[in-house]
Amino acid sequence: MRKKIVAGNWKMNMNYEEGIAFARTLDQYFRNKPALKADVIICTPFIHLAEIAEIIKGGKVALGAQNCASEASGAFTGEVSAYMIKSTGAEYVIIGHSERRTYYNEDDRLLNKKCVLALNSGLRVIFCCGEVKEQREEGNHFVIVKRQLEEGLFPLGAESMKDIIIAYEPVWAIGTGLTATPEQAKEMHKYIRGLIKEKFGNKIADDMTILYGGSCKPSNAAEIFSKPDVDGGLIGGASLKKEDFTAIVEAV
């Protein structure tokens, strides 16, 4: 069965104490809510993972990291492996965020390696895809997203798809205040589900959660989430404010 999910991506924000306090606030808030229509995930910096994993135990918030190493272990100074992330109690990892693709030159082959390591470590993957502004203006957005999925995700094979969540994030909408129109989101999400159907069949396509990300906020979330094939959101800036993030979760 397809799940609705709202995931927060804290990016490189909040020091240790701030992050722990914020996680505690969110945990308390959602714990006291009787029934949520969406699963809630927070993807925090590495330094927060282990303690937040303790805080959220038995509650309604799940935990993820924002990246993992492309190697399993060894002499890779400064890196954090998927296996280490899993050992903190986190369950998810974001792979292929456009900021990693752009600033750290991560390409789909490398991202595929990261996905393999994450899945082998028992993590679920939130795999991001999306076109930049010029690619959309040139009408290449479908081609780009198709290539990202075909190279980064599909080689993982059908059995892995149950542990994958896809996030479509048009890069021109991330942190810019520009949101894809609900129609643009609907169209791309339908296209992505169609690609999965072609590759892996109806059941896997129907079960796949496909999130929208890019300047999602309380004022636009409900309309975007109401579109067919949009199963929730990956939220950056608005995941750092309790009122905004909880309102977006409640918009599902």
Binding residues for ligand PGA, per CB under 6 A? Answer: 9, 169, 174-175, 213-216, 234-238
Smallest separation (angstroms) from ligand PGA to the CB of 169 = 6
Number of neighbouring beta carbons within 10 Å of residue 104: 10
Identify whether 106 is a catalytic site residue. no
Kindly state the smallest distance separating residue 99's Cβ from ligand PGA, in Å.
Answer: 7
Q: Between residues 117 and 180, which has the closer beta carbon with respect to ligand PGA?
A: 180
Beta-carbon neighbour count of residue 251 at 10 Å?
22
CA distances from residue 100 to 59, 107, 129, 131, 242 in whole angstroms, order as listed? 30, 9, 11, 14, 26
| Residue number with CB closer to ligand PGA (9 or 148) | 9
**Structure letter (DSSP) for residue 4:** P
Q: Which is nearer to ligand PGA, 94 or 205 (CB)?
A: 94
Q: Which residues pair with 211 in a beta bridge?
A: 167
Q: How far is the CB of 174 from ligand PGA (least distance, A)?
A: 4
Q: Which of 158, 92, 150 is nearest to 125 (CA)?
A: 92
Residue nearest to ligand PGA (CB): 236
Closest distance to ligand PGA from the beta carbon of 102 (Å): 11
Helix (H, G, I), strand (E, B) or coil at 43: strand
Among the options 48, 106, 169, 189, which is catalytic?
169
Minimal distance, residue 235 CB to ligand PGA, in Å: 5
Sole residue written with tokens 């272990």: 73
- The Cβ of residue 177 has, within 10 Å, a number of other Cβ atoms equal to 9
Contact assessment for residue 165 and residue 126, using Cβ atoms and an 8 Å cutoff: yes
Cα distance between residue 180 and residue 168, in whole Å: 10
Q: Say how far residue 37 (Cα) sits from the centre of its chain.
A: 18
Longest dimension (CA), the chain: 48
Nearer to ligand PGA, 9 or 70 (CB): 9
Residues contacting residue 107 through CB under 8 Å, at least 6 positions apart: 101, 151
Q: Which of 97, 99, 141, 189 is catalytic?
A: 97
Active-site residue, 97 included: yes
224 or 234, CB closer to ligand PGA?
A: 234
Catalytic residues: 97, 169
